[in-house]
Amino acid sequence: MSTQTQTPTRARRVTLADLERTGKLDDFQPGHTPSHSALIRDTLPEREAAAEATCASCGHVGLGFRAFTRRDGSSWRAYAMCPHCQHAEGF
């Protein structure tokens, strides 16, 4: 009986520049909503999750966190970004 080791499938790398170019960040600007105080910004669960996450593109452990707020301030999006290959994933 033969045993094969599978290499994990890596996601295609998508950067924040790719997201901007394809319109995924239209109507959004970098930063938090005005209602997020400094304390909230520093302790968001998304920031902690990104710090412990593994990059789906290159496998690097420990991702950065970027927030984008809708220009009218009504909502925001969080992205984990790999410091090694710049891959970005929304969550």
What is the mean pLDDT of the segment spanning 60-77?
89
> pTM of whole model > 0.85?
no
Question: 9-34, pLDDT tens digit by residue?
Answer: 677 899 989 998 999 899 998 887 77
In order of start, what are the domains of the chain with their CATH numbers? 27-90 (2.20.25)
* 77, two tokens: 């999006």
Indicate the pLDDT class of residue 54, thresholds 50, 70 and 90.
very high
Whether residue 66 contacts residue 16, with contact meaning beta carbons closer than 8 Å, is answered with yes
Q: Tell me the DSSP string of 32-45.
A: --TT--HHHHHH-H
